[in-house]
Amino acid sequence: MNKKAIVLVLGGGGGGGFKTAADKLSAPLLGRPLVSYVLAAAAGLRPAAVFIAVEGKDDLPPDVLAEGPSPRPVPLVLRGGARRQGQGRPLRWPATGPLLRRHLSADVLVVPADRPLITSKTLKSLLAAHRRNGCSLTLLSLGPDPDRDSIAAVRAGDVVPLLAPLARAGAGAGLRTIAALLSARGRTVGLTELPEAEEALKVAGRGDLARAALVLRRRKNEDLLRRGVVLLDPASTWVDWAAQVGPGTVIHPSVVIEGPSRLGKDCRVHPHVHIMNCRAGDRVRILSSTVLEASRLEDEAQVGPFARLRPGTVIRAGSKVGNFVEMKNTVFGPRSKAQHLSYLGDSLVEEDVNVGAGTITCNYDGVRKSRTRIGAGAFIGSGTELVAPVTVGRRAYVAAGSTITRDVGPDSLAISRARQVEKPGWVLERMKKIRRVRAVT
Amino acid sequence: MNKKAIVLVLGGGGGGGFKTAADKLSAPLLGRPLVSYVLAAAAGLRPAAVFIAVEGKDDLPPDVLAEGPSPRPVPLVLRGGARRQGQGRPLRWPATGPLLRRHLSADVLVVPADRPLITSKTLKSLLAAHRRNGCSLTLLSLGPDPDRDSIAAVRAGDVVPLLAPLARAGAGAGLRTIAALLSARGRTVGLTELPEAEEALKVAGRGDLARAALVLRRRKNEDLLRRGVVLLDPASTWVDWAAQVGPGTVIHPSVVIEGPSRLGKDCRVHPHVHIMNCRAGDRVRILSSTVLEASRLEDEAQVGPFARLRPGTVIRAGSKVGNFVEMKNTVFGPRSKAQHLSYLGDSLVEEDVNVGAGTITCNYDGVRKSRTRIGAGAFIGSGTELVAPVTVGRRAYVAAGSTITRDVGPDSLAISRARQVEKPGWVLERMKKIRRVRAVT
Amino acid sequence: MNKKAIVLVLGGGGGGGFKTAADKLSAPLLGRPLVSYVLAAAAGLRPAAVFIAVEGKDDLPPDVLAEGPSPRPVPLVLRGGARRQGQGRPLRWPATGPLLRRHLSADVLVVPADRPLITSKTLKSLLAAHRRNGCSLTLLSLGPDPDRDSIAAVRAGDVVPLLAPLARAGAGAGLRTIAALLSARGRTVGLTELPEAEEALKVAGRGDLARAALVLRRRKNEDLLRRGVVLLDPASTWVDWAAQVGPGTVIHPSVVIEGPSRLGKDCRVHPHVHIMNCRAGDRVRILSSTVLEASRLEDEAQVGPFARLRPGTVIRAGSKVGNFVEMKNTVFGPRSKAQHLSYLGDSLVEEDVNVGAGTITCNYDGVRKSRTRIGAGAFIGSGTELVAPVTVGRRAYVAAGSTITRDVGPDSLAISRARQVEKPGWVLERMKKIRRVRAVT
């Protein structure tokens, strides 16, 4: 009985709305490339090596290789025949000779890349049955055409003698031919059943991605529920495969969490929130209709509703970012608050700062971007423009409605404001004038 | 065998939460009036004429007639009997005499308006079977009461001789009576099966609209997928029946696209977006939680997140509208940017303009609305009010925090700003005072 | 035949992700505590009394008792045995002796608290069958273990004689033992079927809450549809159990309505709206992506899109609150408008006021919060800060871009604005300078 296993992922073919094989392999599915799912299932076997068979080098986007879990998949270019754009094809077995000879004592698991719902458990069962029954070839039937629509375990050493007849049989010779040749030689060929019919789903075209995503979302959400995450409405919750959420965190309806985001324990995520590639600590509150991208939120931070954090933003512990507030490339200090209608860009805000409503960092003057610094305990009055580069000192107080163009010292009041003038009766005069004009015209 | 077909849509009856027959016929279903679905299915037969039978002229809202595809439906008022508000009723056959006599050589397709899921294909099959079998009447059974719950094909010339006996049989005489009379005369009466049970769904009450919408959305979304649109989560995607989306466009979860909107190719629509009656070119990016109404976005425009475009807005190619930005009745020039917290109303913004955060066009002075013009290449500093009517010249520079009440010439700097004053130590004095007051009180 | 019924709700046990029994009983399910559903179903029997059996006083959060409908549930602490944290357990029958003796002539309905889908109708059927058949005990089977997984009706007077043998039989003696003892004594034991399998759903762990919520949402939404509410997409609509919506109100997809909110007739709620504990009158329009909390909207008010009302806000009849506008603890008068990018906090705004874009009440000066008052018919120009405490008189006019620190009299113009200065050619000079610097560096 073989003890070593290698995996051969079949990566060929585009079609069905995919322009190229590369396009298909890297098609996003719950936030990860299509091929990554089969690679992850393969990794569960702890194989000695994983190969991806393609017809040309550019069939394989480089980031796909980086995506795979250990062992890293090795591309295997199996050229041959006229390349037909957008057409899946059976494996060209004769071209696998060098690989098989290098792994004569191995079982080879052959897995098409476009079956993202296949689980490690199923691959393990297949391999176990294959070995238990002493088969040369064991097929896991997935569809009508065993040459294309099968997952198979096959003894490398038993296929090598067949390579010459397979080459003579032509490009169409696949698992079906191998099974016949093995049977003719008195070898055992086995067949196992798929435990869950849904695992057979084949991403033949772009339209199948949504179907596959639905199953993967269900699996992901069930996993989250098992880990103690509270999903109020799993059916409307989208959590990418790579995202992680801590126990006790409550996710309200219509929330989308993308990329390898990580949320801690006992957080609250209110409805209509969109999170991309973020990290949040514990007890973080993300209120409704908030959009977060490539940002970090420390423990007990609160953002939203209607907050927008752009890449490079760090919200320190216990601080609050309120409605209609945008931050970009900004560190926002512990216990600081920016609750309303503000834009902080390229800024460093220390702790215990109060940023009033309508505060705007003017970080771009048409030519270059500059930074704003606000010291601990400072108070920025509402309706203030901070024209960068500028520093507001610790505990300084900026009066409402000011445009700050020069640095403000610590403990200072800064104010730039025209005197309030009142013209009594002005409104009555104006209405008279308007009435006169209207009477004339 | 008859070669001509006419369609008679049964439009009578309200009830089930519909106040009147008109209320029911025009009830919105995936953005179109209920009756429009049956009219569209009828049009697929390429009939010689389409009639809508109603009991009174005001049973038929005028826009419904305009909604129908070619041939335009003709209202057919079949008065008779006491009119019972809110009650569907079988067709009054004796009243159809003039119509049938005008189309003696036609097959008449009788289709109730409240069966929006009936397809052209099914109507064609019915008509084909009816003709192939040489029937006088062929029923497509949809429910327990064949008089009300049937779609039928009937030879006009064979019904005309029955009009007198039908009149004698009273108001309740319907398809069932016709079938009996025809059989008694030795005519052939056929019955065909509905290919898809869901097509039988009857909108008897308002509650049925949601059920019908669910099926129509599934059909619409499947059609979009077939056309190469990428719907990440079809179940949470709402695209009105009349909306069109180009191939390669990716629509994220929880997106609502209403009315006859048209999106081009390779666009991105992020989660929680609401689009009403808009046109977008190719490669347009609409970021999360954006609301667009009756606006136009040219190629490669980007809007959102949290953008709101009101009617009459045109976003030219390659321009960017960012978060918490509202535009109304504004043309926003190519490659111009308004990225944060701004309101542009009744404005004409030329190309390559930079609109800083917190820019507000003061287009209303309490009496009238006025326009704002911003020339190509101008830079509007943050926190600026533009008091309309006002023009900012080409390449002009408005300093942050200004209130602009007079036109600014090209290449000019405009500034309206009070001097920044600093009072060192002011904060310490203030805290002392507050502490004194607190100690006393 | 007994005529009196009492209900004994079994409240014991945590586990499955619930830290304690109290944690479980008060777990939110469509906005109400888990136990409240069984209490409501029990109330439908109009029982003489309702008891909740728990193992310790702190197993029962006080607000849960307040949540129950009439009759108010009475906690019944049945101590005994070693308390195993996080473990549901059968009822300790011997400890019910005092209760049963007090209600000797009653039928006791025994209902586990973790079956929130059980309906009044089912409990009534059980009780009716129990009495009709003259049973001592009637079981409604819900699962494999009748001691834990049953609802039962039992004659108190017939169980009392069994208390001694039950005590001898040990802690494990439950309904199964009672049934055996009754049968041995020649009493009739009945079994009835559950009319709807879904009612059996048991909330054993946190993951079951989502499943229960799905069924309750369907029931709630069907009830709303029956009452004439138009839900365009029931599957994506979340309306808490306690929320009420008037007929003719149209709710678009992806809307979340929480708590005991009440919306009137013929309202419009656009997509992606989140409402918490609010009241709205008739014909109120709530546009997309709006977040409302503990606020009141009078008839024909319009808010949104992107509006945020915080607690204590009252929007008077016919007024409009537009995009990127936040209000907190503010009364906003009839027919007044605040359409863009504003923050009104701790304010009293009278009728017919126009609040321009970018208006900010500076209600916090770093030490205390103060109020703003705006008189009827006043016009607040765009980009205005109102530094509270401050009053703007009736019909007063505040010029755009002003910072108002002192009260403004009625009919007065108030303005605080620096003169607009223009420097022609400044931009050309600046570009030259920049080019020189760039050439050097």
* Averaged pLDDT for residues B266-275: 98
Name residues of chain A where pLDDT drops below 50.
81-87
Which amino acid belongs to residue C157?
G
Residue C437 and residue C441: Cα distance in Å, rounded?
A: 6
The pair of three-digit structure tokens given for residue B70, joined into one six-digit string: 């070619």
CA distances from C180 to A400, C101, C130, C166, C184 (A): 81, 21, 17, 11, 6
Q: For residue C305, is the peptide bond before it cis, meaning its omega torsion is within 30 degrees of 0? A: yes
Topology agreement, domain A6-200 and domain A218-414: no
Query: Three-class SS string for chain A?
Result: CCCEEEEEEECCCCECCECCHHHHHCCEECCEEHHHHHHHHHHCCCCCEEEEEECCHHHCCHHHHHHCCCCCCEEEECCCCCCCCCCCCCCCHHHHHHHHHHCCCEEEEEEECCCCCCCHHHHHHHHHHHHHCCCCEEEEECCCCCCCCEEEEEEHHHHHHHHHHHHHHCCCCCHHHHHHHHHHCCCCEEEECCCCHHHHCCCCCCHHHHHHHHHHHHHHHHHHHHCCCEECCHHHCEECCCCEECCCCEECCCCEEECCCEECCCCEECCCCEEECCEECCCCEECCCCEEECCEECCCCEECCCEEECCCCEECCCCEEEEEEEEECCEECCCCEEEEEEEEECEEECCCCEECCCCEEECECCCCECCEEECCCCEECCCCEEECCEEECCCCEECCCCEECCCECCCCEEECCCCCEEECCHHHHHHHHHHHHHHHC
- Contact between chains at A412 and B420 (C-beta distance less than 8 A): no
Residue B414 and residue B398: Cα distance in Å, rounded?
A: 5
- Contact between chains at A427 and C411 (C-beta distance less than 8 A): yes
- Contact between chains at A235 and C256 (C-beta distance less than 8 A): no
* Interface probe, candidates A427, A431, A432, A433, chain C, greatest C C-beta count within 10 A: A427
Please name the residues between 247 and 276 in chain A that touch chain B, using a CB distance below 8 Å. Answer: 254, 256, 272, 274
- Contact between chains at C412 and A421 (C-beta distance less than 8 A): no
Contact A173, A20 (CB under 8 A): no
The pair of three-digit structure tokens given for residue A39, joined into one six-digit string: 């690679």
- Rounded to the nearest angstrom, the minimum Cα separation between C324 and chain B is 6
Partners of residue B411 in chain C, C-beta under 8 Å: 424-428
B32-33 vs B28-29, strand pairing mode: antiparallel
φ, ψ for residue A179, nearest 5 deg = -60, -45
Task: Determine the pLDDT at residue B71.
Answer: 79
Neighbours of chain A (3+ CB pairs under 8 A): B, C
Residue A125 and residue A48: Cα distance in Å, rounded?
A: 18
Q: Which of C340, C400, C423 sits opposite B326 (nearest CB)?
A: C340
Q: Which of B232, B270, B381 sits opposite A213 (nearest CB)?
A: B232
Q: CB neighbours of B67 closer than 8 A, spacing ≥ 6?
A: B32, B33, B35, B36, B39
The pair of three-digit structure tokens given for residue C235, joined into one six-digit string: 């599957």
Question: Which string of b and e fits C20-40 if b means at least 16 CB within 10 Å?
Answer: bbbbbbbbbbbbbbbbbbbbb
ipTM computed for the complex: 0.94
- Contact between chains at B225 and A235 (C-beta distance less than 8 A): no
A:B CB pairs within 8 Å: 163
Asked if CATH classification 3.90.550.10 holds for the domain at A6-200, the reply, yes or no, is yes
Residue, of A71 and B161, whose pLDDT is higher: B161
Task: Determine the pLDDT at residue C76.
Answer: 85
Question: From B355, which residue of chain A is nearest by alpha-carbon distance?
Answer: A366
- Contact between chains at C236 and B256 (C-beta distance less than 8 A): no
pLDDT at B340 > cutoff 50 = yes
Task: Determine the pLDDT at residue A84.
Answer: 45
Task: Determine the pLDDT at residue A1.
Answer: 59
CA distances from B337 to A368, B353, B378 (A): 16, 6, 11
Half-sphere exposure of A396 (CA within 13 A, CB side): 26
Tens digits of residue pLDDT in A288-335 = 999 999 999 999 999 999 999 999 999 999 999 999 999 999 999 999
Neighbours of chain B (3+ CB pairs under 8 A): A, C
Query: Which candidate, B386, B311, B404, B308, places its Cα nearest to that of B349?
Result: B386
Ordered by start, the domain boundaries in chain C are: 6-200, 218-414
Angle between the N-to-C axes of helices A207-226 and B207-226, in degrees from 0 to 180, rounded to the nearest 10: 120
The pair of three-digit structure tokens given for residue C90, joined into one six-digit string: 């059968």
- Rounded to the nearest angstrom, the minimum Cα separation between B320 and chain A is 16
- Does B368 contact A at CB distance below 8 Å? no
Task: Determine the pLDDT at residue B91.
Answer: 81
- Contact between chains at B210 and C423 (C-beta distance less than 8 A): no
Partners of residue C253 in chain B, C-beta under 8 Å: 236, 238, 254, 256
- Does C341 contact A at CB distance below 8 Å? yes
Asked if CATH classification 3.30.43.10 holds for the domain at C218-414, the reply, yes or no, is no
The pair of three-digit structure tokens given for residue C22, joined into one six-digit string: 């109290």
Angle between the N-to-C axes of helices A207-226 and C206-226, in degrees from 0 to 180, rounded to the nearest 10: 120
How many of the other CB atoms lie within 10 Å of CB of C330?
26
Q: Which of C289, C379, C418 sits opposite B418 (nearest CB)?
A: C418
Give the lowest-confidence range in B11-25, B122-136, B331-345.
B11-25
Task: Determine the pLDDT at residue A68.
Answer: 60
How many of the other CB atoms lie within 10 Å of CB of A138?
27
* Interface probe, candidates A313, A385, A436, chain B, greatest B C-beta count within 10 A: A385
Please name the residues between 38 and 97 in chain B that touch chain A, using a CB distance below 8 Å. Answer: none
The pair of three-digit structure tokens given for residue A177, joined into one six-digit string: 């031919």
- Does B320 contact A at CB distance below 8 Å? no
Task: Determine the pLDDT at residue C89.
Answer: 63
- Does C306 contact B at CB distance below 8 Å? yes
Q: Which of B272, B383, B417 sits opposite C289 (nearest CB)?
A: B272
* Interface probe, candidates A422, A428, A431, A432, chain C, greatest C C-beta count within 10 A: A422
Tokens 């959420």, located at residue: A245
Q: Which of C222, C357, C428 sits opposite B360 (nearest CB)?
A: C357
Q: What is the pTM of this model?
A: 0.95
Name residues of chain C where pLDDT drops below 50.
81-87
Task: Determine the pLDDT at residue C286.
Answer: 98
**Could you tell me how far CA C2 lies from the centroid of its own chain?**
38
Show which residues of C are catalytic.
Answer: 340
- Radius of gyration of chain A measured on its C-alpha atoms: 31
Tens digits of residue pLDDT in B298-307 = 999 999 999 9
Please name the residues between 401 and 420 in chain C that touch chain B, using a CB distance below 8 Å. Answer: 401, 417-420
The pair of three-digit structure tokens given for residue A359, joined into one six-digit string: 């505060």
- Does B226 contact A at CB distance below 8 Å? yes
Partners of residue A403 in chain B, C-beta under 8 Å: 383, 400-401, 417-418, 420
- Rounded to the nearest angstrom, the minimum Cα separation between B403 and chain C is 6
Q: CB neighbours of A319 closer than 8 A, spacing ≥ 6?
A: A301, A302, A332, A333, A334, A335, A336, A337
Partners of residue A358 in chain B, C-beta under 8 Å: 358, 383
The pair of three-digit structure tokens given for residue A58, joined into one six-digit string: 């550019």
Question: From C231, which residue of chain B is nearest by alpha-carbon distance?
Answer: B210
Query: Three-class SS string for chain B?
Result: CCCEEEEEEECCCCECCECCHHHHHCCEECCEEHHHHHHHHHHCCCCCEEEEEECCHHHCCHHHHHHCCCCCCEEEECCCCCCCCCCCCCCCHHHHHHHHHHCCCEEEEEEECCCCCCCHHHHHHHHHHHHHCCCCEEEEECCCCCCCCEEEEEEHHHHHHHHHHHHHHCCCCCHHHHHHHHHHCCCCEEEECCCCHHHHCCCCCCHHHHHHHHHHHHHHHHHHHHCCCEECCHHHCEECCCCEECCCCEECCCCEEECCCEECCCCEECCCCEEECCEECCCCEECCCCEEECCEECCCCEECCCEEECCCCEECCCCEEEEEEEEECCEECCCCEEEEEEEEECEEECCCCEECCCCEEECECCCCECCEEECCCCEECCCCEEECCEEECCCCEECCCCEECCCECCCCEEECCCCCEEECCHHHHHHHHHHHHHHHC
Residues of chain B with pLDDT > 90, as a percent, come to 76
Q: CB neighbours of C201 closer than 8 A, spacing ≥ 6?
A: C115, C116, C117, C208, C211, C212, C215
Task: Kindly report the average pLDDT of chain B as a whole number.
Answer: 92
Task: Determine the pLDDT at residue B13.
Answer: 72
Contact B290, B274 (CB under 8 A): yes
The pair of three-digit structure tokens given for residue B102, joined into one six-digit string: 């005008």
Tens digits of residue pLDDT in B219-246 = 999 999 999 999 999 999 999 999 999 9
- Rounded to the nearest angstrom, the minimum Cα separation between C381 and chain B is 8
State the pLDDT confidence band at B417, using cuts at 50, 70 and 90.
Answer: confident
Tens digits of residue pLDDT in B37-77 = 999 999 999 999 999 988 877 787 777 776 666 778 888 88
